[in-house]
């Protein structure tokens, strides 16, 4: 169990640029979640995958955000035409199937928009 890994740890970019983050979940976990966390707040749900299927997407997620999980393994989160308000920590978590299975979180990717 190598844990959930996220890359990069920190991304600094200019407003209007596109960014892509990667998450490698624990290998046997079917479920994968993306969250956004701003200072002083709890993680805010963005989207959820079960294997390769994206089953739910937050209404807070604008069309500039897209996520994929090809072959049910790693996942990517892309933000197009970044805005100042996108500055946040982006967390990935994975879990086994089952409602009471704990989520295992990665270290997160901190996005800073200049």
Partner 1 sequence: AQTVTQSQPEMSVQEAETVTLSCTYDTSESDYYLFWYKQPPSRQMILVIRQEAYKQQNATENRFSVNFQKAAKSFSLKISDSQLGDAAMYFCACYSGTYKYIFGTGTRLKVLA
Preceding amide of 88 cis, omega within 30: no
For residues 45 and 74, which CB has a smaller minimum distance to partner 1 in the complex? 45
> Which residues does residue 84 pair with via DSSP β-bridges, in sequence order?
none
Interacting residues with partner 1 between 43 and 102 (CB under 8 A): 43-45, 48, 50, 55-56, 91, 93, 99-100, 102
- For residue 87, give every residue at least 6 positions away whose Cβ sits within 8 Å of its Cβ, in sequence order, or none: 38, 111, 112, 113
Residue among 17, 18, 41, 62 that touches partner 1 (CB under 8 A): 41
Distance CA 68, CA 54 (A): 8
Instruction: Write out the residues near partner 1 by the rule CB under 8 A.
Output: 3-4, 33, 35, 40-45, 48, 50, 55-56, 91, 93, 99-100, 102-103, 105-107
């Amino acid at each position: 169990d190598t844990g959930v890994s996220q890359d990069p740890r920190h991304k600094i970019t200019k407003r209007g640029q596109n960014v892509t983050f990667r998450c490698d979940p624990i290998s046997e976990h079917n479920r994968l979640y993306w969250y956004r966390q701003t200072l002083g707040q709890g993680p805010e749900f963005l989207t959820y995958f079960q294997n390769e299927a994206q089953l739910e997407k937050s209404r807070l997620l604008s069309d500039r955000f897209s996520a994929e999980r090809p072959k049910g393994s790693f996942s990517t989160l892309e933000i197009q035409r970044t805005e100042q308000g996108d500055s946040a920590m982006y967390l990935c978590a994975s879990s086994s199937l089952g409602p009471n299975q704990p989520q295992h979180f990665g270290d997160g990717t901190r996005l800073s928009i200049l």
